[in-house]
A and B are shown apart, each in its own frame.
Chain A
Amino acid sequence: MAPLFDYTLRLADSALILGHRLSEWLGHAPLLEEDLALGNIALDLIGEARALYAYAGTVEGQGRDEDALAYKRDAGQFRNLLLVEQPNGDFAVTITRQLLYSAFAHPFWRALAQSRDATLAAIAAKAEKESAYHLRHAGEWLIRLGDGTAESHGRAQRALDALWPYAGELFETDAVEAALIAEGIAVDPAALRPDWERTVQAILAEATLAAPAGTWMQSGGRSGRHSEHLGHLLASMQFLQRAYPGASW
């Protein structure tokens, strides 16, 4: 059952870390309506993470609950995509990160809703609706920024250039997933690439933005080799549980 545990953990970690990043915006967004919008997306993602952690813990069968998994593992044991742990930067970076992620997440959850694993399928069905909204929100904003003012265009293009190298990891598979894909439990992410490219290119075109070409793609998140950012994020997130071991909150 280890591959199913690993697979579920990957999905949970990405959802949690991205939700955590978005939650950092509350009280600091460019307009009040956006504090609420980013809050909604954060809550959706954390909800997805909680459902996935609960299932992962069940699958593992060693009594680890959602908090044990979220708060007691060090960075090297996290399995999230590198993309989601990148800092928020300015609003253009946050929106670009969201677009690249959600353009993948939406077709991914739609495909996973057909999984032979009933629990994953149910989680996926809910997440699909949520990610459809995240995609629309991020896409519309990226178009506004790309085709807004000279300043917003510049920031959006810089954000795209900085985050593009993390897009490749979305489509990687490995031995963990290969067996699960064959069993009809997991989704082959490579198969989602054409859909993702179509969606992203259409939005970039309308946003008058250009995707970088021939970029070297970063990798390693899914096997625990993260950027320097994750350590700081977890140090903050996990502090209370680490400082007061054994306490209930």
Chain B
Amino acid sequence: MYTQGLLHAKEDDRAAPEPAGALARFQARIDAEEKIEPNDWMPAAYRHTLIRMISQHAHSEIVGMLPEGNWITRAPSLRRKAALIAKVQDEGGHGLYLYAAAETLGVSREELVEQLLAGKAKYSSIFNYPTLTWADIGAIGWLVDGAAIMNQIPLCRCSYGPYARAMIRICKEESFHQRQGFEIMLTLARGTDEQKAMAQDALERWWWPSLMMFGPSDAQSQHSDASLRWKIKRFSNDELRQKFVDATVPQGHFLGLTFPDPDLRYDAASGHWLFGAIDWAEFRNVLAGNGPCNRQRLEQRRKAHEDGEWVRAAALAYAEKRRARAAA
């Protein structure tokens, strides 16, 4: 899902021709499950793919603070308020760890943020949907974080050391996010008729976008074989999506909710929940910038960045003054 922006990206061929032996030795290290670290030799394509993938993941976390942040001031109990603040704060932290990992590859956080704010970088399409009710906060924790976890656990074994380590830290922190979301849904599902309706409505709006998070089906996807060969990506889109559906559908039934998919049925032979056709036109449209909240999300991030410029400038100016005084 963090590679959604790489959909039609071509193999990076801007590098100078690489020493023949080096590529083979690099592949041997990968095959032996060795970790690649910042100062190690790596093909230019490996470096560039990782920068894009890690930065898209980082951008997703940062933009992801906004739909949930939208409900912090309206959280309906002090316990929910505290949990939501902690969750959104965690997402900021995850973005930070990921920018830090990307920076080990020779790019700065500032550059990456500039790309995001200029509309040149992608982030997970799911965050371009609005949070309209409190139930959306439950749905995001349950479904969106649930989908993210499916993707993130394999990434803990990514071949690039700093990314793998950031993912391990993230996965440890992530464990309460999905549980918190599910608990909200459970409370609503067991609540008043209005609350049940709120939960049902949220599922109807977030289910298909959550499935789209895993990216196009393998047949349509142009994801590079290199990502799998270099152990950056470890499972295919369809594999992860199916895993997510199989885990989540029983949870939804436990809640007493109905999935917005008339074709959803259990296939005893395969042991999988089969689901209906995804509307890829919607997915492409949102990715292209026409989702309900794309412009708004970027505007909010731009505003935060611009409003904060004088603060950052002040911090740097003060540090410089202190250095000058110490030297004098």
**Chain A residues near B (Cβ < 8 Å):** 16, 20, 23-24, 26-36, 39-40, 42-43, 46-47, 49-50, 53, 66-67, 70-71, 90-91, 143-145, 147-149, 151-152, 155, 233, 236-237, 239-241, 244, 246-249
The residue from A16, A32, A151 contacting B314, defined by CB atoms under 8 A apart: A151
Q: How far is the CA of A29 from the CA of B78 in the complex (A)?
A: 23
Residue of A nearest to B308 (CB): A30
- Tell me how far the C-beta of B288 lies from the nearest C-beta in chain A, rounded to whole angstroms: 24
1/0 per residue, CB under 8 A from A, across B62-92: the answer is: 1001100100111011111110011011001
Is residue B13 within 8 Å, beta carbon to beta carbon, of the partner chain?
A: no
Known: A32-B95, A249-B76. A149 touches B310 (CB 8 A): yes
* 29 pairs of residues in contact across A and B, judged by CB atoms under 8 Å: A20-B81, A23-B81, A26-B69, A26-B92, A32-B92, A32-B95, A32-B99, A34-B311, A35-B92, A39-B85, A39-B86, A46-B85, A50-B79, A67-B77, A67-B78, A90-B307, A91-B308, A91-B311, A144-B318, A145-B314, A148-B313, A149-B313, A233-B73, A236-B74, A237-B73, A244-B195, A247-B192, A248-B187, A249-B187
Chain A residues with CB under 8 Å of B69's CB are 26-27
The residue from B81, B88, B99, B313 contacting A27, defined by CB atoms under 8 A apart: B88
Chain A residues with CB under 8 Å of B66's CB are 27
Residue of B nearest to A156 (CB): B314
The residue from A31, A36, A70 contacting B78, defined by CB atoms under 8 A apart: A70
Whether B77 lies near A244 (C-beta < 8 A) is no
Chain A residues with CB under 8 Å of B311's CB are 30-31, 34, 91, 145, 152
Whether B73 lies near A40 (C-beta < 8 A) is no
- Tell me how far the C-beta of A124 lies from the nearest C-beta in chain B, rounded to whole angstroms: 19
Is residue B194 within 8 Å, beta carbon to beta carbon, of the partner chain?
A: yes
Is residue B93 within 8 Å, beta carbon to beta carbon, of the partner chain?
A: yes
Is residue B104 within 8 Å, beta carbon to beta carbon, of the partner chain?
A: no
In the A-B complex, the 10 residue pairs with the smallest Cβ-Cβ separation, listed nearest first, are A30-B308, A148-B314, A152-B314, A39-B89, A30-B311, A240-B76, A249-B76, A27-B65, A27-B69, A144-B318
Residue of A nearest to B70 (CB): A27
A-contacting residues, B253-281, CB 8 Å: none
Q: How far is the CA of A143 from the CA of B88 in the complex (A)?
A: 28
Chain B residues with CB under 8 Å of A46's CB are 78, 81-82, 85
12 new A-B pairs (CB below 8 Å) besides A39-B89, A50-B79, A148-B313? A26-B69, A27-B65, A27-B88, A32-B95, A32-B96, A67-B78, A71-B76, A236-B74, A239-B74, A247-B194, A249-B80, A249-B184
Of A16, A27, A49, the most chain B CB neighbours within 10 A belong to A27
Is residue B134 within 8 Å, beta carbon to beta carbon, of the partner chain?
A: yes
Residue of A nearest to B109 (CB): A32
Q: How far is the CA of A40 from the CA of B88 in the complex (A)?
A: 11
Whether B89 lies near A26 (C-beta < 8 A) is yes
Q: How far is the CA of A81 from the CA of B274 in the complex (A)?
A: 58
Chain B residues with CB under 8 Å of A240's CB are 74, 76, 134
Whether B65 lies near A26 (C-beta < 8 A) is yes
Whether B314 lies near A20 (C-beta < 8 A) is no
